[in-house]
């Protein structure tokens, strides 16, 4: 069976890094784990050094390399034929890598496989299941059309295919992970298995998603999708041609950011209605109440809660 390298780049994650690393090392499929401590000023490095596993290599403070290019640096150092990524405040799930490795071992015409993922709140409570519906399927064309299916950290990837992408592209200040997924689809075929819960993704205010101004984040999301469609239709994109649009200056865009509480509340609201539609009314009401507690001044959420309560009073047929 083929070996797997998992990489992780961390900065100031002393409270979560051990649990994140251990969730990866709990898998016997992992041959090698490379963790880069990226100039932490807290006890992140000492927490890593406390961990005793021969598969774990801890690197520290690579001069001139900043996130996300620390990840590219680690990908290049990987020694195994399969590679995957985990963030230092998230978690892998049991048996995920074994199932994905078995698929790739048995299907050499595929370069990667993704799975479902679950968002969790800052304190680790489940929020929403994502990318978990439908049948197992080929998603290559979906990605090449500029539509993501799952989280980059849910993928297990053949290293040679990842090398062919050139890794993260410097122009992207955010959405570099989305761009990389689209680039992978240009290299080869990608499978998605929604029955594999591959990853748990923490929503918190210190993440890139919640610290980047909304307008700037939306711009790079949009361009990643547009570039994917350009490559599908013409074989190259404007970034490859050296003619990308100018990104909005950070001082020229709205400073409004998406708070983690707003993000969590929105996902809880969506998950609540999905659960309600599937007949799990008590679970749905619990999720809607959690959303309202996070954003108690949201008239929309109170209105949605009232509607759900009214619907719950109607006897089931």
SS3 content of the chain, % helix, strand, coil (to 5): 45, 20, 40
Parallel, antiparallel, or unpaired: how do β-strands 110-120 and 189-202 relate? parallel
Share of the chain above pLDDT 70, in %: 88
* H-run or E-run covering 282: helix 281-294
> For 4-205, CATH number?
3.90.550.10
Region of 135 please: left (phi>0), alpha (psi -120 to 50) or beta.
beta
**pLDDT band, residue 12 (cuts 50/70/90):** very high
Q: Are 153 and 73 in contact (CB under 8 A)?
A: no
- Residue-wise DSSP of 173-241: SS-HHHHHHHHHHHHSEEEEEEEEEEEEEE--TTSHHHHS-HHHHHHHHHHHHHHHHHHHHHS--TTTT
148 CA to centre of own chain: 11
Rounded to the nearest integer, the mean pLDDT of the chain is 88
> Which residue has tokens 């496989």?
113
Let me know: does 174 contact 220? Beta carbons within 8 Å. yes
Q: Which residue has the tokens 């990308």?
A: 244
With beta carbons less than 8 A apart as the criterion, state whether 112 and 198 touch. no
Contact 12, 44 (CB under 8 A): yes
Dihedrals φ, ψ of 82, to 5°?
-115, 145
Element (H, E) at 113: strand 110-120
Comparing CA positions, the residue from 84, 93, 80 lying closest to residue 26 is 93
The structural domains of the chain, with segments of one domain joined by +, span 4-205, 260-312
Closest CA to 275 of 289, 294, 292, 263: 289
Q: What is the pTM of this model?
A: 0.84
Angle (deg, nearest 10), helices 299-312 and 260-277: 20
Query: With contact defined as beta carbons under 8 Å apart, do 257 and 213 qualify?
Result: yes
For residue 308, pLDDT over 50 is answered with yes
Taking CA atoms, 11 is separated from 40, 60, 175, in Å, by 5, 10, 19
pLDDT surpasses 50 at 156:
yes
Tens digits of residue pLDDT in 38-88: 999 999 999 999 999 999 999 988 877 777 889 999 999 999 999 999 999
Q: Minimum mean pLDDT among 8-12, 13-17, 206-210: which range? A: 206-210
Q: What is the pLDDT of residue 301?
A: 73
How many angstroms separate the CA atoms of 55 and 80, rounded?
A: 12
Predicted confidence at residue 297, as pLDDT, reads 79
Mean pLDDT of all residues in 114-124: 90
């Amino acid at each position: 069976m083929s070996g797997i390298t998992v990489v992780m780049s961390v900065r100031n994650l002393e409270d979560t890094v051990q649990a994140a690393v251990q969730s990866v090392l709990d898998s016997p499929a992992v041959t090698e784990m490379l963790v880069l401590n990226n100039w932490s000023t807290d006890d992140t490095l000492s927490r890593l050094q406390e961990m005793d596993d021969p598969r774990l290599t801890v690197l520290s403070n690579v001069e001139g390399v900043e996130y996300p290019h620390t990840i590219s640096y680690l990908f290049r150092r990987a020694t195994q034929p399969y590679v995957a990524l985990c963030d230092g405040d998230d978690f892998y799930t049991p048996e995920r890598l074994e199932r994905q490795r078995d698929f790739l071992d048995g299907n050499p015409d595929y370069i990667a496989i993704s799975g479902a993922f679950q968002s969790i709140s800052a304190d680790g409570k489940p929020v929403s299941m994502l990318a978990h519906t439908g049948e197992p399927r080929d998603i290559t064309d979906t990605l090449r059309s500029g539509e993501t299916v799952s989280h980059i950290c849910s993928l297990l990837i053949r290293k040679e295919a990842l090398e062919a992408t050139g890794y993260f592209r410097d122009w992207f200040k955010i959405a570099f992970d989305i761009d990389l997924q689209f680039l992978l689809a240009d290299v080869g075929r990608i499978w998605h298995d929604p029955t594999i819960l591959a990853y748990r993704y923490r929503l918190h205010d210190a993440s890139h998603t919640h610290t980047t101004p909304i307008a700037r984040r939306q711009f790079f999301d949009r361009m990643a999708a547009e570039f994917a469609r350009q490559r599908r239709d013409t074989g190259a994109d404007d970034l490859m041609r050296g003619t990308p649009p100018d990104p909005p200056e950070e001082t020229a865009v709205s400073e409004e950011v998406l708070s983690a509480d707003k993000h969590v509340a929105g996902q809880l609201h969506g998950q609540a209605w999905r659960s309600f539609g599937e007949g799990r009314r008590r679970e749905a009401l619990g999720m809607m109440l959690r959303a309202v507690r996070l954003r108690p001044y949201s008239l929309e959420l109170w209105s949605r809660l009232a509607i759900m309560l009214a619907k719950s009073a109607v006897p089931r047929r």
